[in-house]
Amino acid sequence: MANHASGWWIGSDGSGQLTTHFRDDIAFSQMGEGSLTIAVHYSALNYKDALALTGSPGVVRKPPLIPGIDLAGVVEESSDSEIQAGTPVVITGYGYGENRHGGLATRVIAEPQHVIPLPEGLSLQHAATLGTAGITAGLAVNALQSHGITPSSSSLPIAVTGAAGGVGSLALALLKGAGYTTVAITGRTDEADYLSMLGATDVMSRQEFLSQPSRPLQSEQFAGAIDQAGGDMLARILAATASNSVVAACGLAGGSDLPTTVLPFILRGVSLVGINSVFQPPDVRVDLWNGFASANLPLDEIGQIIPLAEALENAPRVLAGLTRGRVVVKVID
């Protein structure tokens, strides 16, 4: 077995500025502690990874760091009694690619409590296509269901914002599989065919939705929502959501503020539920991964594959919201 890895390396130039370069000589001794060495087959280019690669200090707090919050690969060496060498596994969250070395390199050193053995029927490529976005979308769908929002509880659709992005695409596909009707709110109505293929019952222009007059309460348009935009979008979604419904807040693609009033909460009983994919107990993750394996999701259509060497040049496209679905990074052939 080789004793070094190749991958992206975020360093520091000594004056506090972060630097990014590709290294072929990362010694395992530089890759942190853990009882598993995993050969990474696929990672992904999440928004956080794009920030890290382009030197945003918000994600990489302590350089040096290999970015990559998601990875799917095969255990190469193990000193753990339960996870054997040869096991295909997936890791999302737990600080990989943020405060410990992540998946945008050919090897990662990991802790056994952070890995999920891949369920039967899910390939490594599909696991990375799902990744953090899949866990986030799955948690959001669970939040709707656990608050009693079911396909038959209302004739109104579930709104999904940022619909052509990673979380949005997977939320649409999971909602379709669970029998919900949905409206995809998107800045890219030219992706209407893709959104319909994922399961969107209707497609709404983000610009048109945001240009409606802003009132604390709008007519009731949605039985619930999965929002990854935050900001004005989330405020308007809250105002247009039906009585006793649930809005799952997943992201901040449109802003981290929330210019709303208490009226949706106290006059309509709307619940705002926060979704955090990073720290979830293993049993919740295992249930989600088992559900994904049997869900027959259109993952080949959602994932756009790029080679590891092209991760940096694709990062600005991710930050500009120009990529569709999930950017999956092929790490080892």
Residues that bind ligand NAP (CB under 6 A): 46-48, 132-133, 136, 162-168, 186-188, 206, 228-229, 233, 250-254, 275-278, 318, 321
- Least distance in Å: CB of 2 to ligand NAP? 32
Residue with smaller CB distance to ligand NAP, 229 or 308: 229
- Least distance in Å: CB of 122 to ligand NAP? 19
- Least distance in Å: CB of 312 to ligand NAP? 16
State the amino acid at position 120 in one-letter form: E
Residue with smaller CB distance to ligand NAP, 197 or 332: 197
Residue with smaller CB distance to ligand NAP, 105 or 275: 275
Distance between CA 30 and CA 284 in Å, rounded?
32
Distance between CA 64 and CA 14 in Å, rounded?
11
- Least distance in Å: CB of 151 to ligand NAP? 23
Task: Tell the residue number behind the tokens 């410990």, with chain if given.
Answer: 100
- Least distance in Å: CB of 317 to ligand NAP? 9
Q: How many Cβ atoms from other residues are within 10 Å of residue 144's Cβ? A: 25
Distance between CA 105 and CA 96 in Å, rounded?
12
